[in-house]
Amino acid sequence: MAMTPSKSALADTMNQSWARINDFISYHYVYALACTFAVVLLGSFVAWRKRPKIRAYDIDGVPIKELKIRNYSRSAIIFHSQSISKQGEQLAQDEPYVLNNGKHSEVVVHTPEHVREFLRQDLNDHWHPADLNFGDYFNRILGQCAGALYNQPWRTVRRYFDPAYTHGTSVTMIPVFETEVSAWLRDLKNDVLSSGVGRLILHAEQACKTIPLRAIPLSFYGDAYTEQRHKELVRLSNMQAQALAYTVMGKWQMSQWFNLLPTPSKRHLDNYLTDWKTFNLDILESARKKQLNIPAQHVFKGVDVEGGMTMDQYLQTIDEMIFTNIGITGTIIVFMFEQLAHHADFQQKLHEEIMAKKARADFKLDTYVSSSSTLLHYLCLEVVRLHPALGFSPPECISIPKVIGRYKLPSATPIVIDIRRLNTNPLTWGPDANQFRPERFASLSPSDYRYGYVRFRVMSVKPSECLGRHMVDVLMKLVVVKVVEKYRVEKVEKGFSVKEGLLAFVDRK
């Protein structure tokens, strides 16, 4: 006779069955997850191993030299450019060479002759490799910014951003920038650590990056850039710096497959992209509510209209302007003050030029900062010559075979220019090419350094120039005028309780 199970026995049996089903499901779930991980990792590995090789030989069949930088991802070319440039120089001296980071290879050129040959005949048919060879993680941060685009998408983005950054709009920012620089000097004075008797002591790197981080966002966000927004932007700039750090140190982050995994780097990037978008949309919303008329609103009109920009292009071009280029501008201003501190003679002549100009009845600050035949202007040219914004230009592929240096390069070879070496080549700049001597520009015409100097423009596939060139020119000149008219910039010797990197602004009175 069949036994009727009691209620509790039935419940036990059901519980056990559920437990078995749960075990089965969780076992298979973990198993499936592990398999997915393995497939994704394998995919990343295979993609990473697929590396295009450059085969180039001279007429005797000797292969081009190769510099391997295996410990870094390709974006090390941005963040460790000086060390890579020096290693390349030691390896190949005057000849081009191949730079290889394991996944990507590019030929590095660095003399005016190399550059002329690189651009000759087929310039309009050059193209950029996908992702600029930086990989997926970098691509998600900056792959859609103006600097990474070309052809029609690039033209569209520039059509909407350019009106905010003409020479005219930059000159109208002079009063705003003057107020910012004065506030910056006042803050230094009020800081007990930096203020001494008749002089201000500043940690150049920390102090100088704050000027562009206040001034350049004002040129885009206008009156909507409040103190609160500034604080938020500083927080976001730290997040962006951390995201870029992943692109430098993280080889795996180059892979699209790897970036599908729930890793800390992916979480960080997702958070950053969300916060950056929120920040920018909030600013537009508050400008609309307060009926402010800010440049960002005009540029944003180009988003999502027919034939306009994408939201990513808008957000990433601002990222490029605000974070990447502000960092660059800050380090160039530091370098400028350091050079002034090292070259007291030039600094004195510059001070005299400023005082003489200001003493004239017809003096106009906008005319002075716009002039290209002043010591002030030569200083700005010389500083960027010796401390360029980019160590290496973005890679660009040639469309026909070429002989550069001694080597026959096949078509489709990606090429980058080592800007540090180009800007200090003695053939263009003479035996004192590595020395700081701004007056050299008084006796040079731009045609003398047509292929030998990169400042705001990398001669390249697109007729592009730095978007912020007028704005930053005005800003840098105002900073110099305000400081050098009133103070003598001096180096503070390293010693007991004096850290490296300190400068002093000594009152001239």
Say how far apart CA 157 and CA 95 lie, in whole Å. 37
Whole-Å CA distances, 329 to 252, 442, 495: 30, 24, 29
Question: DSSP per residue over 420-478, as a string?
Answer: HHHHT-HHHH-TTTTS--GGGGGG--GGGGTTT--SS----SS----TTHHHHHHHHHH
In whole angstroms, how close is the CB of 145 to ligand HEM at the nearest point? 7
Which residue, 92 or 484, is less far from ligand HEM as judged by CB?
484
In whole angstroms, how close is the CB of 452 to ligand HEM at the nearest point? 14
Which residue, 248 or 389, is less far from ligand HEM as judged by CB?
389
Question: CA 36 from chain center: how many Å?
Answer: 36
Which residue, 54 or 390, is less far from ligand HEM as judged by CB?
390
Which residue, 75 or 255, is less far from ligand HEM as judged by CB?
75
Residue nearest to ligand HEM (CB): 468
In whole angstroms, how close is the CB of 137 to ligand HEM at the nearest point? 20
Which residue, 64 or 466, is less far from ligand HEM as judged by CB?
466
Which residue, 250 or 452, is less far from ligand HEM as judged by CB?
452
Which residue, 259 or 423, is less far from ligand HEM as judged by CB?
423
Alpha-carbon torsion 135, 141, 146, 149, what sign? positive
**Alpha-carbon Rg of the chain, whole angstroms?**
28
506 C-beta neighbours (distance < 10 Å), count: 15
In whole angstroms, how close is the CB of 79 to ligand HEM at the nearest point? 16
In whole angstroms, how close is the CB of 441 to ligand HEM at the nearest point? 15
Evaluate whether 387 touches 331 at the Cβ level (below 8 Å). Answer: yes
In whole angstroms, how close is the CB of 429 to ligand HEM at the nearest point? 17
Which residue, 157 or 503, is less far from ligand HEM as judged by CB?
157
In whole angstroms, how close is the CB of 369 to ligand HEM at the nearest point? 14
Question: What amino acid is encoded at 282 in this protein?
Answer: D
In whole angstroms, how close is the CB of 462 to ligand HEM at the nearest point? 7
Which residue, 173 or 321, is less far from ligand HEM as judged by CB?
321
Say how far apart CA 43 and CA 481 lie, in whole Å. 56
Evaluate whether 504 touches 490 at the Cβ level (below 8 Å). Answer: yes
Say how far apart CA 475 and CA 240 lie, in whole Å. 24
In whole angstroms, how close is the CB of 317 to ligand HEM at the nearest point? 6
Largest interatomic CA distance in the chain: 121
In the 3-class helix/strand/coil scheme, how is 99-158 assigned residue by residue? Answer: EECCCCEEEEECCHHHHHHHHCCCHHHCECCHHHHCCHHHHHHHCCCHHHCCHHHHHHHH
Which residue, 265 or 423, is less far from ligand HEM as judged by CB?
423
Burial of 107 (0-12, 13-18, 19+ CB in 10 A): buried
In whole angstroms, how close is the CB of 218 to ligand HEM at the nearest point? 11
Q: Tabulate helix, strand, coil % of the chain (nearest 5).
A: 60, 10, 30
In whole angstroms, how close is the CB of 335 to ligand HEM at the nearest point? 10
Angle value at C-alpha 154, between 153 and 159, nearest 5 degrees: 100
Burial of 151 (0-12, 13-18, 19+ CB in 10 A): exposed
CA dihedral 159, 165, 171, 172 (to 10 degrees): 80
Which residue, 200 or 474, is less far from ligand HEM as judged by CB?
474
Q: Where do contacts with ligand HEM occur on this chain (CB under 6 A)?
A: 146-147, 158, 216, 317, 320-321, 325-326, 328-329, 332, 384, 389-390, 454, 456-458, 460, 464-468, 471-472
